[in-house]
Amino acid sequence: MRTRTYFYFLRQALTSLTRNGLMSLASVGTMVVSLLVLGMFLMMVASLGNIVTSLESQVEVTAFLKDSTSQEEIVDLREVIGKLEGVQEIKFISKEEAFQELKEKMGNESKVLLSVETNPLPDSFEIKAAAPQQVAAIAKKIVGFKQIEEVKYGQEVVEKLFTLSKVLRWIGITLIVLMTAATIYIIVNTIRLTVFARRKEIKIMKLVGATDWFIRWPFLIEGILLGFLGAVVAVLLLRESYTMIIHRLQEALPFIPIGGNHVEIVNLSYWLLLVGTLIGAIGSTISLHKFLQV
């Protein structure tokens, strides 16, 4: 096709958008809401994933030793535990070190410990697993040693986070599907109104030999423009709102790794632009199917 033919298609698409201003605005608005919901959900999942990953890296097994355990037994036990499958690192914490750490964590409240005559804390091992999934198995093996009084690990918290992540993912997918369907429906009807108003023109064009694609291109471009414009607005709103929300959350909860990095946000923006454009193209394709059967 010649260059002026492409300009003709584009001019027809822009003319159609201005003629159906209200429906076009509704299509763009629905697209903005849909992609905004999608983007916020994906960002939320990414933030939750960062939190889970951070917690996973901190999951470790703490094995408390009996008071009767001798130094020789501690050395032997450390060597045995260190050779267990899945154990990446093992660290011995004496009862004196544990008591000092407790005082540091309590800060100004550590004065209450001055009245404690004897150190009530036991010696312990802090054991890191090569993978978070191996923590439970390691804990089960360690608890069987006669020198071990008690074993604790925080795998339950991580499992609850995984469950929460799955629930949020399914809720988000359902919302995304519904919003996408609503967007396509409005775009289909917007372009269908345009096609209906020009049905006589389309019939004449077919009678004089115009191909289906020659007729289809202006409407396809119209759908693409609607989708792309909605995606641009959604991306701008998403980036501004997400930055503001994450900044405030990070100030309130500095110890929690909330938010994604700049590369993740940029990649999501490109992805949303692509999705918006595709939805617009799909909507226009569906709307034209019936009216080209003349």
Structural domains in the chain, CATH included, are 3-55+158-291 (no CATH), 60-153 (3.30.70.3040)
Q: What is the pLDDT of residue 61?
A: 87
Q: Where residue 96 falls among pLDDT bands split at 50, 70, 90?
A: confident
Mean pLDDT of 62-76: 89
Mean pLDDT for the chain overall: 77
pTM value surpassing 0.85:
no
State percent of the chain over pLDDT 90. 3
Q: Where residue 238 falls among pLDDT bands split at 50, 70, 90?
A: confident
Q: What is the pLDDT of residue 10?
A: 78
Which pairs count as long-range contacts for 167-171, CB under 8 Å and 24+ apart, including other chains?
Answer: 168/41, 168/44, 168/45, 168/48, 169/45
Judge whether residue 102 has pLDDT over 80: no
Q: Where residue 22 falls among pLDDT bands split at 50, 70, 90?
A: confident
**pLDDT, tens digit (0-9, with 9 covering 90-100), for 28-59:** 887 788 778 777 777 777 776 667 666 666 77
Q: Where residue 269 falls among pLDDT bands split at 50, 70, 90?
A: confident
Max avg pLDDT among 136-145, 199-208, 209-218: 136-145
**pLDDT, tens digit (0-9, with 9 covering 90-100), for 123-135:** 899 998 887 778 8
Integer CA distances (angstroms), 67 to 61, 71, 116, 121, 126, in order: 19, 11, 18, 9, 17
Q: What is the pLDDT of residue 171?
A: 79
Mean pLDDT of 260-275: 76
Q: What is the pLDDT of residue 165?
A: 67
Q: What is the pLDDT of residue 200?
A: 75
Q: Are 34 and 27 in contact (CB under 8 A)?
A: no
Structure tokens at 275: 């999705």
3-state secondary structure 238-273: HHHHHHHHHHHHHHHCCCCCCCCCHHHHHHHHHHHH
